[in-house]
Amino acid sequence: MPELPEVETVRRGLAPVMEGQRITRAEVNRPDLRWPFPDRMADRLTGARVDRLRRRSKYILADLDTDETLLIHLGMSGRMLMSGAMLGAFHHDHPAPAKHDHVVLHMGQGVRITFNDARRFGAMDLMATSDAAAHWLMRDLGPEPFANDFNEDYLIARLAGRNTPIKSALLDQRIVAGLGNIYVCEVLHRAGLHPARKAGRIAAKRIAELVPLIRKVLEEAIAAGGSSLRDYRQADGELGYFQHGFAVYGREGEACGTSGCNGCITRIVQSGRSSFFCPHCQR
């Protein structure tokens, strides 16, 4: 599932061709994805101007001049692909309609935004912009990793006394929004923390060090266009490249790249998810 860097990369790719532009026509080609689409979604989107395209956790939010917000969740295999747009010196022609093109937004200036989702685990919803923060998918989310309220004191307080493994704690969207399995594995390797360490037993100093590490890993991933493992593509159809720099994720049995370490990357399963780490570097 795309994590914060992938969703932010898609948002940045879409913003230049969506913000300030009207949806001249919206096509909704099926009644649902993971959940049913809202009533009259095509009619409510047609003619609306996209005032702002933002991200909250793993959701893209398009604020419209109709005082509604379109929520987009990519799910496991969802892609937001644009065509008919000039990207630098290149023009992306409209492709032929594909089987899994479930929602198509025809924008001003001939641009087309297509939501393609083969597995149909993605979602779209419409809500009043004023109530967006209270939407059931977002109301319990913790702070964003780049927000001022996600800081050392906050993280120390939230993890104090918790008996849950540090890996599970950082994946808890109520504590910090947007982190997923890939980037938590990478953060914990840089921090030298074993993913099974109990969060409440880690010294406050080491918990505080996680905050800048989380931001650094996410910044590097966004700069690389995210990580393309299976279905993920950027809005222009290109792959992300951060997967080529993974220190531990997906590298079970390979040598640890930390200077002076002779260990090998190990995989364990925590709450049904694979955790990759170096048992020599991470204690």
Active site residues: 2-3, 58, 273
Could you tell me the CA-to-CA distances from 66 to 124, 209, 227, 277 in Å, in that order? 17, 43, 34, 48
Q: Specify burial of residue 104 (Cβ count, 10 A radius: 0-12, 13-18, 19+).
A: middle
Contact 213, 152 (CB under 8 A): no
Q: Retrieve residue 158's tokens.
A: 């939230």
Q: Which two tokens stand for residue 99?
A: 């089987």
d(CA 213, CA 145): 10
The tokens for 1 are 């599932």
Pairwise CA distance, residues 15 & 53, whole Å:
6
